[in-house]
Amino acid sequence: MGESLHCDLCGKPAQVHLTQIVKNQIQKVDLCEECAKTSGVTDPEGFSLADLLAKSFTGPAEESEGANLVCEQCGSSARDFRKTGRLGCAACYGALQPVVLPLLAGLHKGARHKGKAPARQWRRLELTREIESLERQMQEAIKGEDLETAARCRDQLGALRAKLEGPVAAS
Amino acid sequence: MNILPILDTPAEVVPGGSPPGPIVLSTRIRLARNLRDFPFPGWAKEAQRREIFARCAQAAQDTAPMKKAYVLDLAALDDLEKQVLVERHLISRELSAGAQGAGVIISRDQSMSVMINEEDHLRVQVMRPGFQFKRVWKMADALDNGLEEKLDLAFSAELGYLTACPTNVGTGLRASVMMHLPGLVLASQMEQAIRAVNQLGLAVRGWYGEGSEASGSIFQISNQQTLGESEEEIIKRITSVLQTIVEQEQNARAKLMESDSAKLLDKIGRAFGTVRNAHVMTSVEAMNCLSLLRLAADLGLLPETERSRIDRLLIESQPGHVQLAARGTLETQKRDVARARFLREQVASLPVLNFDRAFEKN
């Protein structure tokens, strides 16, 4: 039918052509039958063009910044991300930042999280900060030979550390 | 074939609670979550995936909403069982095709499920009949809090919940509603509506795929963006769009009744005749007929209380469910015969269509 288009993912002749408009931007994708299937276009549950574009954004042409980055935590690379559209682990967001961050602006409403946070993680963060400040106080008290204050700090530290470890031990 | 007890219960789009109303069939929220200390499922080794499954399954079972939940290891299910779970929207196709360590926890009433080792370690899902975002968000939030008590989740202060695909990062939230829009489809306004909705950053999909008109005029509308807005803002945005679509659908229906009621009532009457008498029926035809029967209930031609029966039949006439009822795999032709028989039996007790009501009501 008319011009022959090639699959954006593998280059074979394209059979499936999709257009989606997001924020007044027209996005077009052409796919071969196989890639259409594996990319989930035929799956009404999981498909969005944005997902697919996240992959083709980072398509073969772009070999510039961050192309050789590798995440030390899990060993996955910017190249892996380009191929699959998926990151390897949570640390990849830091390790592959130059590749990932520019994408987010195009995909989302903003670049900063405004939603909920895991309560326990905030509690832990607060506890950690409290412990750090108490440790400083204790060191100063020891330096100043104020043993009474140092002892009080030590007791409080013990209680806070137990609190910090409590829920962790349970998991 | 060994049928799981959960599958032997009726397929409820309505897992208890209030009956679904016109236009909005169901409300769903899913949250994508990951463990901090493991690679994402696609990158994890098999042993890690098993470890992830064990930890997440335990944590989920320890939460109050998941008391006595069903815990299913996908590797232990046959293809038909998986297909039935997909048709009930309890698991995704991606999970059903998943590798080792993929599993799902499903609450007793089937309103909540936690998929493990899908694209992310955890996919928390809550589904309720009708339009109920407030309630559904509250339930999902509570279940999420329960999981977080036991698990160290991947979270950053700047980017929120970290997910395998950057399209889900932030809130990890996808809010969606299943809408029945026969008025817009019959008035050929659906394409226009989809374009308008897309422009607002929302996605429109079919219920079970296969071209929009061919699948019972049922559409799923959901947010695409997950970062930069709070959960409440996302829900508010999709709610306002949804209300506009409901109004447009109501207008389209009123106009159809006004301009060409005979054509509309003819379609409904024929659909009723077909499900009552057909002996061979494809799943697409079944969905189209049932869609018109649902419209009949909305217009008052059938008692409103029949809507939940029709919603159940929409799911139970899907290929997996027809074979489940037959207790084994059936080739397409036999399936179509079994489906027609099943529907004939199921609608035999429906009252006759009361066409006069259509004019009283409108």
pLDDT (tens digit, 9 = 90+) per residue, B43-61? Answer: 999 999 999 999 999 999 9
Rounded-to-integer distance, Cα B32 and Cα A46, Å: 13
Q: Is B327 on the interface with A (CB under 8 A)?
A: no
Least confident range from A57-61, B67-71, B138-142, B321-325: namely A57-61
Distances (CA, A) of B51 to A121, B48, B102, B114, B194: 22, 5, 11, 16, 42
Percent of chain A whose pLDDT exceeds 90: 34
Distances (CA, A) of B91 to A92, B127, B135, B278, B318: 27, 12, 21, 32, 15
Contact A117 B160 (CB under 8 A): yes
pLDDT at A41 over 90: no
Which SS3 state, helix, strand or coil, does residue B306 take? helix
pLDDT at B2 over 70: no
CB-CB contact of B203 with B222 (8 Å): yes
* CA proximity to A84, closest of B155, B166, B115: B166
Tens digit of pLDDT for each residue in B155-180?
998 899 999 999 999 999 999 999 99
pLDDT at A44 over 60: no
Query: A2: pLDDT confidence band, cut at 50, 70 and 90?
Result: very low
pLDDT at A53 over 90: no
CB-CB contact of B228 with A109 (8 Å): yes
Cβ within 8 Å of A, B 161-200: 161-162, 164-167, 169-171, 173, 195, 198-199
pLDDT at A25: 55
pLDDT at A38: 64
Contacts for B44 with CB less than 8 Å, ≥ 6 apart: B38, B52, B101, B117
Least confident range from A122-126, B151-155, B354-358: namely A122-126
Rounded-to-integer distance, Cα B204 and Cα B55, Å: 35
Q: Is B118 on the interface with A (CB under 8 A)?
A: no
DSSP B262-301: HHHHHHHHHHHHHHHH-S---HHHHHHHHHHHHHHHHHTS
Contacts for B315 with CB less than 8 Å, ≥ 6 apart: B11, B13, B87, B88, B321
Q: Given the structure tokens 């989606």, which residue do they identify?
A: A20
Cβ within 8 Å of B, A 63-92: 74, 76, 80, 84-90
* CA proximity to B219, closest of B196, B12, B317, A36: B196
pLDDT at B300: 93
Contact B167 A42 (CB under 8 A): no
Average pLDDT over residues A114-143: 84
pLDDT at A94: 94
pLDDT at B208 over 70: no
Least confident range from B4-8, B107-111, B343-347: namely B4-8
pLDDT at A123: 74
What are the chain B neighbours of A112 within 8 Å (beta carbons)? 158-159, 227-228
* Mean of the per-residue pLDDT values of chain B: 90
User: In chain A, what are the helix, strand and coil shares in percent, each to the nearest 5?
Assistant: 50, 10, 40
Q: Which two tokens stand for residue A99?
A: 């590749």
Rounded-to-integer distance, Cα B15 and Cα A164, Å: 40
Q: Residue B99 corresponds to which amino acid? A: A
pLDDT at A40: 60
Q: For the sheet containing B173-180, what is the strand order? A: B70-73, B103-106, B112-116, B122-129, B24-33, B173-180, B218-223, B202-206
Q: Residue B51: how many CB atoms within 10 A of its CB?
A: 15
Rounded-to-integer distance, Cα B308 and Cα B104, Å: 26
Nearest to B167 among A51, A112, A113 (CB): A51
What are the chain B neighbours of A42 within 8 Å (beta carbons)? 209
pLDDT at B209 over 60: no
Percent of chain B whose pLDDT exceeds 90: 76
Nearest to B148 among A40, A48, A120 (CB): A120
Least confident range from B26-40, B153-167, B197-211, B277-291: namely B197-211
Cβ within 8 Å of A, B 247-266: none
CA angle B217, B219, B222 (to 5 degrees): 170
pLDDT at A133 over 80: yes
What are the chain A neighbours of B231 within 8 Å (beta carbons)? 115-116
pLDDT at A162: 86
Q: Is B216 on the interface with A (CB under 8 A)?
A: no
Tens digit of pLDDT for each residue in B303-332?
988 998 999 999 999 999 999 998 888 999
Query: A59: pLDDT confidence band, cut at 50, 70 and 90?
Result: very low
Contact A113 B206 (CB under 8 A): no
Tens digit of pLDDT for each residue in A60-109?
444 556 778 999 999 999 999 988 999 999 999 999 999 999 999 888 98
pLDDT at A51: 56
DSSP B210: S
pLDDT at B172: 97
- Backbone phi, then psi, for A35, in 5-degree steps? -65, -30
Nearest to A114 among B154, B165, B230 (CB): B230
What are the chain B neighbours of A114 within 8 Å (beta carbons)? 170, 228-230, 233
pLDDT at A36 over 80: no
* Mean of the per-residue pLDDT values of chain A: 76
pLDDT at B103: 95
Rounded-to-integer distance, Cα B181 and Cα B256, Å: 13
Average pLDDT over residues A114-136: 81
